[in-house]
Structure 1
Amino acid sequence: MGSCFAVNMAEKLDYFKFQNSCNPFGILFHPLAIEKLIDFAVSKKQFTENDIFFHDERWHCFDVHSDSSNSSKEELLESLNAIIKSTNQQITESTHFIITYGTSWVYRNIESDSIVANCHKVPQKLFEKELLSVEEIKKSITNTVKLLHAVNPDCNIIFTVSPVRHIKDGFVENQWSKSNLISAIHSVLDTEDCKMNTEYFPSYEIMMDELRDYRFYAEDMLHPNQVAINYIWKRFKETTISETAFTTMDEVSTIQKSLSHKPFNPNSESHLKFESKVREKITKLESEYSFMKF
């Protein structure tokens, strides 16, 4: 769960056929938004008409990403509550949670006096911008850990800070924001209550220190490009994924590359033999891992 960098890592997990779910409520950037939706899922709270609003001909919810917005009020509520149900099941069954925080900057809706996850292009004058303090973030992270461990005491939780820079806040403000996140995470992981089954993966630090060059950024000069994503994934694999999975990952990768192969002559005997061998490999893996589908 978390920022768009969480999506980058989920795409890698998808590629290697790990069972995973990414951002059921859409991309979320700050700790309070993630905590709130985990709380909703754990407690099976239902969204009601009080949680949604109409703007620009669509119904929205301040607690979720605009990807969930809908022209139908009923369909939006039905969709959100279905996600609550499925996320509750995933939280109780998952072995690992990877939470990627993007920013400490938040927007408070003046009318409701509540911090939102997404402003949905509602006029900015209706919000106040705030920076979460280290203490506020620590409290939110601690609550998140307790919520997950309450229903899944053996799960592992990996925290990371997104390497995507939020330059719209300003260069100094971006560093301030990231530093509050990093300080809070390490403070929480150093406490007795949260030491068990929790760890930190340094996505942001790898981007800043090992890939300290603009050639590792996309055209917007803010998001890591594919070379950087591949590098950070390599570090994640080395430090977080068991070596016992590497052989299977290599087999999956070989099949994925074969499936993306564009033949010069699809009807040639050599290509038909190639396809047959690929099918054999797929059948073998799918018989060993029933959840894998190519």
Structure 2
Amino acid sequence: MELQTKVPLQPADHPIDYQGKVLLLGSCFVENMGYKLNYFQFPQYQNPFGVLFQPLALENLVKRALESSFYQQDEVFCQEGIWRCFDAHSEVRSDDQKTLVELFNQRLRLTRQWVESASHIIITLGTAWVYEHIASQKIVANCHKVPQREFTKNLLSVDTIQSSLENLVSLIGSANPKAKLIFTISPVRHLKDGFMENQQGKSHLITALHHIINGRSVSYFPAYEIMMDELRDYRFYAEDMVHPNALAVDYIWEKFKTVWISSEAYPIMDEVESVRKGLQHRPFNPGSEAHEKFRTSLRAKITYLQERYPFMKFE
């Protein structure tokens, strides 16, 4: 008896392996997948400006990085003693204006390096709802809890989203034509926008995204569809009933792995996980001969992995 509807998946032609580099940009679901890639020690870099939910913010980040359009001090603002920028998430902040500007520009340089060298770029779109700062007439990436009266809220049209994504794909393609672009729609529901508004925003993203996928060398991974159709139960949500919980993240990661991780990398992933678990092991008798043998074996495994893959770092 089949108790689930399954989203059909096919292995990718050019999957991720340990010789590649993965850049991840977008909503908080990117961080879920980025955590998994980091856990298994794949070379990866994620969200230099923090979580970015909407396509215009992602286009702005990549465009500024590739054009070396560095930030100036008048592009950040002070809020209750903390300096922030409307182009970034609230986690990217400083108590010093100059330090924050330098941080943004350093991350722009890193972003450019990763765009130009990545083998795979994963971009997750979260919402089509945006906020325009009235005074500057600029669509922001994050409002930073600035009073609502200073913004107008708008739903990006399908055409606007499509144009932005086409620009994004073109920018990346010009800088790194070999990079494999993988788009996803975040399964996180943006209920602060409203229940119907969340569905409306997701539908605009999906429609625009599939317009640009047709006829282009751009891939789509159905994380949103897996969450909605295979995991249609609140036991797969966190306590906020909005974000996927750890079980759901593990489930979607396994699906992603079958599509986008090279099967040749699986044995190495198993070795990495063995080391990870070994490092977390807490012995009953730290001074015993058995534990010393265990530590010697673990050090040998780490040395073996790092000789083959010098980028791997174990604490």
> Into which bin does the TM-score normalised by the smaller protein fall?
over 0.9
**Corresponding position of 2:68:** 44
Gaps of 5+ in 1: none
| Structure-2 residue corresponding to 1:147 | 171
- Counterpart CA distance in 1 for 2:296 and 2:223 is 40
Corresponding pairs, count: 290
Structure 2 residue runs of 5 or longer lacking an equivalent are 1-24
In the alignment, the residues of structure 2 paired with residue 80 and residue 274 of structure 1 have an alpha-carbon distance, to the nearest angstrom, of 44
Q: Which residue of 2 aligns with 1:221?
A: 241
- CA–CA distance in 1 between the matches of 2:230 and 2:278? 32
Hey, what's the Cα distance between the residues in 2 that align with 1:133 and 1:201?
A: 22
Per the alignment, residue 32 of structure 1 pairs with 56
Q: Is the 8 A contact 2:27 2:51 kept in 1?
A: yes
Work out the CA distance in 2 between the residues paired with 1:74 and 1:283.
41
Take 1:168 and 1:86, find their aligned partners in 2: how far apart are those partners?
32
Of 191, 194, 202, the match for 1:167: 191
1:117 paired residue among 141, 156, 161: 141
Runs of at least 4 residues of structure 1 off by over 6 A? none
Structure 2 counterpart SS, 1:21:
strand
Q: Which SS does the other structure have where 2:132 is aligned?
A: strand
Residue 183 (structure 1) aligns with: 207
Report the CA distance between 1:116 and its aligned residue: 0.3
* Map of 2:92 onto structure 1: 68
How far apart are residue 42 of structure 1 and its match? 0.6
Q: Which has the higher contact order (CA 8 A, sep 6+)?
A: 2
Counterpart-to-counterpart distance in 1, 2:305 and 2:84 = 42
Secondary structure of the structure 1 residue equivalent to 2:154: strand
User: Does 1:7 pair with 2:31?
Assistant: yes
Residue 66 of structure 1 aligns to a residue in which SS?
A: coil
> Which runs of structure 2 are paired with 1:212-291 in the superposition (5 Å)?
212-291=232-311
Give 2:132's aligned residue. Answer: 108
Q: Which amino acid aligns with 1:264?
A: F
Structure-2 separation of matches of 1:179 and 1:112: 29
* Higher helix proportion (structure 1 or 2): 1
Instruction: State, as a whole percentage, how many aligned pairs show the same letter.
Output: 51
1:87-111 deviations in Å (ceiling 9; x for gaps): 1111111111000111001000111
Instruction: Measure the CA separation in 2 of the matches of 1:152 and 1:109.
Output: 33
Kindly provide the amino acid, as one letter, of the partner of residue 114 in structure 1: K
Whether the 8 Å contact between 2:57 and 2:87 is mirrored in structure 1 is yes
How far 1:268 moved relative to its partner? 1.2
The one-letter code matched in structure 1 to 2:98 is: E
Aligned AA (2:290): S
Indicate if the aligned counterparts of 2:73 and 2:98 stay in contact, CA closer than 8 A: no
Shift of the alpha carbon at 1:54? 2.0
Match of 2:5 in 1: none
